[in-house]
Amino acid sequence: MGLRVLILRAPGINRDADAAAACELAGAQAERVHINRLADHSLCLHDYGFLVIPGGFSYGDHLGAGKLLAIDLQHRLGEQLATFVADGRPVLGICNGFQVLIKAAILPGLQGGEPATEHVRPQATLTHNASGHFECRWVQLAAEPASRCIFTQGMTMPIEVPVAHGEGRLVVADDTILDQLQTQGQIALRYVAPDGGDVTYPANPNGSVGNIAGLCNPQGNVLGLMPHPEDAVLPQQHPRWTREPWRQMGDGLLLFQNAVRYAAQL
């Protein structure tokens, strides 16, 4: 039996099947589990080696994308999740999952970062795209070589994956946070231009600061990213497969293979 991956379901999460398919293609055994099953302890997060918080519009995203599921995680799964992360097990938040991890202050997880209270201001957030609207398109991502992220190891060439979001613009509370993220190797993925030149819209589809597409925690085992590697795991999912040489696999599969391999070694 392969590594057990928990794909978290919640009201409005809708890319759980896509994430499960990607994990299975990477050799793991994926289980789509409703958050209520973890909250009522009928299942235990600790029995899984890898946690994926997939994309969607959890609870409708009416109070800012991911906000309610972030509160749900903090209040109902807080301890389980903290232990899971502290154990070094991989956690992947994709799109809405990334928004959830940010709003729950699990990312970027700098020293002193914790859930919003009267006195502590969060370090970063994901908000409305600079374009002002939801957008679905393919983008190119490059791994930051200095990153500690366990998901992007060995990613030497830019990869192509789709984005599909309306609130993916990374904003940091102040510039020192950006410096900190950089020096601690927490910037995992950046948007790059197809021609290698300056990165402007639409290569950076949402106006994120520093063209950041994905962030990891200081330990590198929690990754959040706006694009959807789970929808770029098969050759025929690529937008130009009819005019380019047939690929062996989709570019996004590498992230899942890395996580599964890493988790299996723990």
The footprint of another protein (CB under 8 A) covers 9, 11-12, 14-15, 17-18, 21, 34, 36-37, 55-57, 59-60, 62-64, 67-68, 71-72, 75-76, 103, 115-118, 121-125, 127, 132-138, 162, 164, 171-173, 228, 230-231, 233-234, 236-237, 239-243
Residue type, 120: V
Among the residues of 87-234, which ranges form H helices? 96-103, 175-183
Structure tokens at 105: 């202050």
Q: Is 216 a catalytic residue?
A: no
Comparing CB distances to another protein, the nearer of 145 and 195 is: 195
Instruction: Please identify which of the residues 128, 165, 216, 228 carries the catalytic annotation.
Output: 228
Q: How far is the CB of 20 from another protein (least distance, A)?
A: 10
Comparing CB distances to another protein, the nearer of 17 and 249 is: 17
Q: How far is the CB of 108 from another protein (least distance, A)?
A: 12
Q: Is 230 a catalytic residue?
A: yes
Comparing CB distances to another protein, the nearer of 116 and 249 is: 116
Torsion angles phi and psi, residue 30, rounded to 5: -100, 135
Comparing CB distances to another protein, the nearer of 65 and 150 is: 65
CA 120, CA 116: separation in Å to the nearest integer?
6
Q: How far is the CB of 182 from another protein (least distance, A)?
A: 18
Count CB atoms within 10 A of the CB of residue 63.
11
Whether the bond into 54 is cis, omega within 30 of 0: no
Q: Is 144 a catalytic residue?
A: no
* Torsion angle defined by CA atoms of residues 73, 75, 76 and 79, in that order, rounded to the nearest 10 degrees: 80
Instruction: Please identify which of the residues 95, 128, 149, 160 carries the catalytic annotation.
Output: 95
- CB burial class (10 A; 0-12, 13-18, 19+) of residue 9? buried
Comparing CB distances to another protein, the nearer of 220 and 224 is: 224
Q: How far is the CB of 183 from another protein (least distance, A)?
A: 20
Q: How far is the CB of 26 from another protein (least distance, A)?
A: 13
Residues 6+ apart with CB under 8 A from 107: 93, 98, 101, 124, 215, 216, 217, 222, 224
Q: Catalytic amino acids?
A: 95, 228, 230
